[in-house]
Amino acid sequence: MFVRFLEIIGASVLELLYFIGDVMLLFIGAVKQMPVKIRLRHVIHQMSHLGVDTLPIVSLTMMFTGMVMTLQVANEFIKMGAESTVGGIIAIAIGRELGPVLVGVVAAGRVGSAMTAEISTMKVTEQIDALRVMGTNPLGYLVVPRMLACMIMVPLLTVYGDVIGVVGGWGVAKYYAGISSYVYVNSIPEYAVLNDLTGGLVKAVVFGVVIAVLGCYYGMKAPEGAEGVGKATTRSVVSAIVVIFMLNVLLSMVLY
Amino acid sequence: MIKIENVSMSFGDKKVLDNINLEIKDGETLAIIGGSGSGKSTLLRLMIGLDHPTGGKIWLRDKDIAHMPEKELDELRLHMGMVFQYSALFDSMTVGDNVAFGLREHTDYGEEKIAEIVKEKLEVVGLPGTEDMMPGELSGGMKKRVSLARAIAFGPEIIFYDEPSSGLDPIMTDKIDELIISTQKRLGVTSVVVTHDMDSAIHIADRIAMIYEGKLIAVDTVDNFRRIEDSRVRAFLRGLYIGKEA
């Protein structure tokens, strides 16, 4: 019984190590392809896709998150006479953690899944083989533009999301908790520093890489058939979200 | 010349190809026939380096491609073209962009020259003026022809065809067969055609090779091939289930 238990644990660990190794190989392969050729047109195309697909949902997510954060914080802080810190606290929380993580999660769900679905369909219909037959490296053609687009767009969306979140917080602070705009806005530069924003942006770049690499990895490894494409898409999103949360802890330790 | 020496291929415990030896001469058309799952498409994938054999060597332009790194293979593949079973056209691109793909990726040609080549290749396959159409708007036969136009756009020395007539009606099958013959004559290319369509194989090939359960059991000129007495070959020629024939 105990031996069987150890076998299961061992097999799971091995599977995890194979997965990490495979993903790292894909990432390194894509990085090696960057100096060979960067298809700027494809990068811009992917960036516009990413922006158009995620902007509305990033706006809604960050707006409501900023609002609910302020709702929870403002009343308690007013009781303690610390209403002059609310804006700063919201800005720090959003800039450091909520902005990059929530934008990352939204992008994983919206864009990572689309990447997996698109690439796995290309695999099933032999389009990836066709690329190879025509002497074009699929990592350079498919992964690099998506990775660069995510590395640029996720931080940009994070900055946008940060602003929307803070504005959402201001709305609740002013019209629900009765904190004046002057107090809310003034407390932001008083408590938040530039590192709160830049640290969040570093996280966003890393999350962008995670979303693109996992999205492409699951697409390229998708099993045959419609069911395979569906499963690969789900796994891609779930893995990206889990990895984003795990790396967020690690990055928070290093950056702050 | 393509030379296949003692090539074997396994997927896990399943042996798909067993000690295959075959030579394909420059400028000839060789049809590789065999039933479904016999290993003929796997052999084709090995010849173009999409998979690597578990044993043996594959010589192409005097280089062993069996375990060649992908980067070197990419350079070698510029001399080859392939028509896929389901065409494998890039569905997000127009027909013109599909045909122009290799030229845009690997040459410095201007758009004007590329458009000229695309137009010419589409005319060769009998699809003039389809540059702006999307693959989704094409029939199966048209897709195959666009796939051939894409394969010949870069001026290959060898063209591989994977089941070129599968899923097509007899008239379209004949049209594709004629295109394979005319392409070979016009460009002087070496053609390797994997098919399970015996009539097509007889029509287009100089020689026919037959794979049965992963083994190469016969290879000869078309006329000689028809006279082979092996029961498995005879069964395939007559379209009979092997158990009945034997």
pLDDT at B241 over 70: no
The boundaries of the domain holding residue A168 are: 39-255
The amino acid at residue A15 is E
Total residues found in chain B within this entry? 246
B217 domain-assigned: yes
Establish if A247 belongs to a structural domain: yes
A167 token code pair: 């504005």
Distance from the Cα of B59 to chain A's closest Cα (Å) equals: 17
- Taking only the tens place, the pLDDT of each residue in A17-48 is 999 999 999 999 999 998 888 899 999 999 99
Q: Is residue A150 part of a domain?
A: yes
pLDDT of residue B245: 42
Q: Which of A136, A154, A165, A245 is nearest to A208 (CA)?
A: A154
Which residue in chain B is spatially nearest to A39 when comparing CA positions? B105
Kindly report the nearest CA distance between residue A133 and chain B, in angstroms: 6
Comparing B41-45, B128-132, B164-168, B215-219, the range with the smallest average pLDDT is B164-168
Residue (of A141, A134, A119) closest to A37 by Cα position: A141
B194 with B35: CB under 8 angstroms? no
If pLDDT is split at 50, 70 and 90, which confidence band does B10 have?
A: very high
Rounded to the nearest integer, the mean pLDDT of chain A is: 93
Q: What is the domain count for chain A? A: 1
Q: Name which residue leads in pLDDT, A122 or A226.
A: A122
* pLDDT, tens digit, 9 for 90 and up, residues B159-192: 999 999 888 888 888 888 998 998 888 888 999 9
Whole-angstrom distance, CA of residue A198 vs CA of residue A188: 15
Strands B80-83 and B158-162 come out as parallel
Please give the average per-residue pLDDT across A176-204, as a whole number: 93
| Rounded Cα distance, B70 and B84, in Å | 20
pLDDT band at B240 (very low <50, low <70, confident <90, very high): low
pTM of the predicted model, to two decimals? 0.87
Predicted confidence at residue A58, as pLDDT, reads 96
CB contacts, 8 Å: A132 with chain B: 49-50, 70, 74, 77
Query: Stretch A156-184: mean pLDDT, rounded?
Result: 95
Mean local confidence (pLDDT), B85-103: 94
Neighbours of A41 (CB within 10 A): 9
Question: Over 90: is that where the pLDDT of A246 sits?
Answer: yes
Contact criterion met (CB < 8 Å) for B89 and A129: no
CB contact under 8 A, B50 and A129: yes
Cβ density class A153-184: b for 16+ within 10 Å, e for less? bbbbbbbbbbebbbebbbebbbeebebeeeeb
Q: Judge: A134–B101 Cβ closer than 8 Å, yes or no.
A: yes
Specify if A15 maps to a domain: no
Q: Given the structure tokens 């099993």, which residue do they identify?
A: A223
What is the arithmetic mean of pLDDT over B66-71?
88
pLDDT at position B246 is 38
User: CB distance from B105 to chain A under 8 Å?
Assistant: yes
pLDDT tens-place string over residues A70-116:
999 998 898 888 889 999 999 999 999 999 999 999 999 999 999 99
**Minimal C-alpha gap between B151 and chain A (Å):** 8
In a domain, residue A85? The reply is yes
pLDDT of residue B170: 86
B17 backbone dihedrals φ, ψ, rounded to 5°: -130, 135
Q: Nearest 10 degrees: CA dihedral of A188, A190, A196, A201?
A: 50
d(C-alpha A235, C-alpha A221), whole Å: 11
Whether residue B81 has pLDDT greater than 90: yes
For residue A195, being part of any structural domain is answered with: yes
Question: What is the arithmetic mean of pLDDT over B205-233?
Answer: 91
CA distance A130 to A216: 17
Cβ-nearest to A136 among B85, B89, B105: B105
Helix (H) or strand (E) holding B17: strand B14-24
Q: Does A20 fall in a domain? A: no
Is residue A27 one of the residues assigned to a domain?
A: no
CA-atom Rg of chain A in angstroms:
21
pLDDT above 70 for B12? yes
Domain-located, residue B3: no
Q: Does B244 score more than 50 pLDDT? A: no
Pairwise CB contact (< 8 Å): A135 & B88: no
Tell me what pLDDT residue B242 has: 53
A14 in a structural domain: no
Domain count, chain B: 1
**Which residue do the tokens 């990836």 mark?**
A128
Mean residue pLDDT across chain B: 90
Identify residue A124 by its one-letter amino acid code.
V
**Residues B7 and B169 sit within 8 Å (Cβ to Cβ):** no
Residue B14 maps to a domain? no
Does residue B178 fall inside a structural domain? yes
Question: Does the residue B6 lie in any domain?
Answer: no
> Residue ranges of the alpha helices (H) in A176-224?
181-191, 194-220
Say if the Cβ atoms of A135 and B105 lie within 8 Å. Answer: yes
Contact yes or no for A163/A220 (Cβ under 8 A): no
Element (H, E) at B122: helix B111-124
For residue B41, give the CATH number of its domain.
3.40.50.300
Residue of B nearest to A136 (CA): B74
Domain that holds residue B136: 27-49+73-245
- Nearest C-alpha neighbor of A31 from the set A154, A148, A150, A132: A148
Report, as an integer, the average pLDDT of A163-177.
95
Residue pLDDT, tens place only, A202-236: 999 999 999 999 999 999 998 877 788 889 999 99
* ipTM, interface predicted TM-score of the complex: 0.89
